[in-house]
């Protein structure tokens, strides 16, 4: 009796058991396509996907590659220049006196304000070179000038030049690149448009690569990485183009892009250097055109005024690494507080001290400077332009 009961129990248990793995396996089987094709393996397919089905990572990676984006990302073939290029053998002082500053033959004469050998008129931008500073207990601060004269401090402040430097290139990059120019940085968004939280914020002078552009309701956006968009106005962009402009008679030229406020240097039809600059502000535009460098000077004193009352008078001693290319317009270092990436000069192309020295060492008299404005907003009529200035 017990044996019969045990046999029945075993049979009932066997018939009631259905292997769960059969159900699971059956539920995930996909119907086979007519062609028997399979999903494309992750990778880049530059011409066609062949017999595989273009879905998933293969599509994403291929679309990225079409824009110049690679995974992992490709770095720019560039290096920072030698930081010692920023060093100058001069000390500069910003003159803030609004009534004029006298230069005196001795310290005693300067203290007593008598017998000035020269008067520096008031102006908006006044910088002098000095050799030493003298602080007195009661009569204030004075500066000994290279000429041997003394100048009262008159509340002036010493100026520290910008340490910003561009990039040296070992090869011409495949896509555009640039620097963040806005003082507050550049917010990065997952999609073009500001109506969503920013992913992060890039700092001023951060370097980015530019892969694509898109205009949303009149605002230009640039793609700087996978699902990373920044407003174009916050970036100074260089679009490498190693083809000589019409009129260049050798394989060496300097491109100045007025719309982007960038400078690019080409040698043997290859990009070798690029940086941010400051060019002429309205109405003192840097004149578009193709010009040869006609004079190189390690330092130059610059002064001038354009307003009838000379209220905009400027006086700049020992402007370093100066190269004239269009009348009084020159490429030169700017040791004063210049906002690189924005127009502000009287027509010259201002560079950081380090960038100006790099360019000075590379360039020769007769090399070409190509100034252009892709936006078309800069006047091109020669009659609009005077001699220009710093």
Out of 186, 203, 238, pick the residue that ends a domain: 238
- For residue 86, the 8-state DSSP code is G
Q: Report the pLDDT value the prediction gives residue 198, as an integer from 0 to 100.
A: 93
Tell me the pLDDT band of 93, cut-offs 50, 70 and 90. very high
**pLDDT tens figures, 35-50:** 556 778 766 666 666 7
Between 102-116, 195-209, 210-224, 376-390, the lowest mean confidence (pLDDT) is in: 376-390
Q: Are 356 and 278 in contact (CB under 8 A)?
A: no
Q: Are residues 282 and 309 in the same domain?
A: yes
Length of the chain counted residue by residue: 390
Rg (CA), the chain: 33
Band of pLDDT at residue 338, cut at 50, 70 and 90: confident
Mean pLDDT of the 306-323 span = 93
Residue-level pLDDT at 137: 85
Cβ neighbours for 378, distance < 8 A, ≥ 6 positions apart:
258, 285, 286, 288
- Indicate the number of domains in the chain: 4
d(CA 140, CA 129): 19
Predicted local distance difference test score (pLDDT) of residue 49: 66
**21 pLDDT tier (thresholds 50, 70, 90):** very low
Confidence class for position 71, pLDDT limits 50, 70, 90? low
The span from the CA of 179 to the CA of 273, in Å, is 14
User: What is the model's pLDDT at position 25?
Assistant: 36
Same domain flag for 124 and 228: no
Q: Is 163 within a domain?
A: no
Helix then strand then coil, % of the chain, to nearest 5:
15, 35, 50
User: Which positions ≥6 away from 131 have C-beta within 8 Å?
Assistant: 91, 144, 145, 146
Cα atoms in the 13 Å half-sphere on the side-chain side of 13? 6
Residue 369 to residue 263: CA distance in whole angstroms = 10
Q: Is the distance from CB of 352 to CB of 84 less than 8 angstroms?
A: no
Indicate if the pLDDT at residue 263 is higher than 50: yes
SS3 130: strand
Domain shared by 355 and 287, yes or no: yes
259 and 350 housed in the same domain: yes
**φ/ψ of residue 372, rounded to 5:** -150, 160
First to last CA, the chain: 116
Give the range among 7-21, 207-221, 278-292 with minimum mean pLDDT: 7-21
Sequence-ordered alpha helix ranges (H) in the chain:
2-16, 20-28, 57-66, 107-112, 353-362
Instruction: Pick 279 or 310 by higher pLDDT.
Output: 279
132 part of a folded domain:
yes
> Taking the mean position of all CA atoms in its chain, how far away is CA 275?
5
List CB contacts of 63: < 8 A, sequence separation 6 or more: none
**Could you tell me if 230 and 267 lie in one domain?**
no
pLDDT of residue 188: 97
Q: What is the pLDDT of residue 67?
A: 65
Q: Is the pTM of this model over 0.85?
A: no
Report d(CA 347, CA 284) in Å as an integer. 5
Backbone angles phi, psi at 60, to 5 degrees: -60, -45
| pLDDT value at 335 more than 70 | yes
Average pLDDT for residues 70-80, to the nearest whole number?
84
pLDDT over 70 for what percent of the chain? Answer: 83
Looking up residue 190, the CATH number of its domain turns out to be 2.30.30
CA–CA distance, 325 with 140 (Å, rounded to integer): 43
DSSP for residue 365:
T
355: Cβ contacts below 8 Å, ≥ 6 apart? 81, 85, 164, 165, 166, 263, 275, 333
Do the domain assignments include residue 14?
no
Band (66; pLDDT cuts 50, 70, 90): low
Residues 261 and 375 in one domain: yes
Query: What would the pLDDT profile of 355-369 be if each residue is shown by its tens digit?
Result: 999 999 999 999 999
| Residue 36: predicted pLDDT | 56
Q: pLDDT tens across 102-144, in order?
A: 999 999 999 999 999 999 999 989 999 999 999 998 889 999 9
| Structure confidence at residue 61 (pLDDT) | 61
What would the pLDDT profile of 162-201 be if each residue is shown by its tens digit?
899 999 999 999 999 999 999 999 999 999 987 789 999 9
Does residue 390 lie within any of the structural domains? no
Task: Judge whether 40 and 55 are in contact, CB under 8 Å.
Answer: yes
- Per-residue confidence (pLDDT) for residue 41, from 0 to 100: 74
Q: What is the DSSP letter of 105?
A: S
Domain containing residue 298 = 252-384
């Amino acid at each position: 009796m017990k044996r019969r009961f045990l046999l029945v129990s075993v049979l009932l248990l066997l018939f009631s058991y259905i292997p769960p793995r059969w159900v699971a396996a059956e539920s995930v089987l996909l119907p086979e396509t007519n062609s028997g094709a399979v999903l494309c393996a992750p990778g880049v397919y530059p011409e066609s996907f062949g017999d595989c089905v273009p879905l998933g990572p293969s599509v994403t990676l291929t679309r990225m590659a079409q824009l110049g984006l690679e995974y992992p990302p490709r770095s720019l073939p560039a290096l920072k220049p030698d930081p010692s290029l920023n060093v100058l053998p001069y000390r500069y002082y910003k003159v803030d006196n609004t009534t004029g500053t006298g230069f005196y033959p001795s310290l005693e004469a300067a203290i007593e304000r008598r017998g000035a050998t020269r008067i520096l008129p008031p102006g908006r931008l006044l910088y002098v070179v000095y050799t030493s500073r003298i602080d007195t207990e009661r009569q204030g601060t004075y500066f000994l000038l290279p000429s041997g004269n003394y100048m009262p401090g008159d509340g002036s402040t010493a100026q520290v030049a910008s340490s910003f430097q561009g990039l040296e290139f070992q090869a011409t990059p495949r896509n555009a690149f640039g620097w963040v120019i806005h003082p507050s940085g550049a917010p990065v968004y997952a999609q073009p448009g500001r109506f969503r939280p920013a992913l992060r914020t890039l700092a001023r002078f951060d370097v980015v690569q530019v892969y694509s552009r898109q205009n949303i309701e009149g605002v230009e956006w640039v793609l700087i990485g996978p699902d990373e968009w920044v407003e174009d106005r916050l970036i100074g962009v260089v679009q490498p183009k190693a083809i000589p402009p019409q009129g260049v008679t050798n394989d060496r030229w300097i491109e100045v892009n007025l719309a982007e406020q960038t400078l690019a240097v080409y040698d043997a039809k290859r990009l070798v250097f690029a940086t941010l600059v400051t060019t002429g502000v309205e109405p003192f535009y840097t004149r578009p055109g193709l010009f040869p460098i006609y004079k190189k000077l390690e330092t130059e004193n610059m002064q001038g005024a354009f307003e009838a009352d000379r209220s905009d008078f400027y006086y700049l001693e020992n402007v370093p690494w100066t190269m004239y290319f269009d009348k009084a317009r020159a490429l030169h270092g700017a040791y004063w507080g210049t906002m690189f990436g924005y127009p502000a000069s009287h027509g010259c192309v201002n560079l950081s001290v380090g960038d100006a020295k790099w360019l000075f060492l590379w360039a020769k008299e007769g090399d070409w400077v190509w100034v252009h404005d892709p936006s078309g907003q800069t006047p091109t009529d020669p009659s609009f332009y005077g001699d220009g200035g710093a």
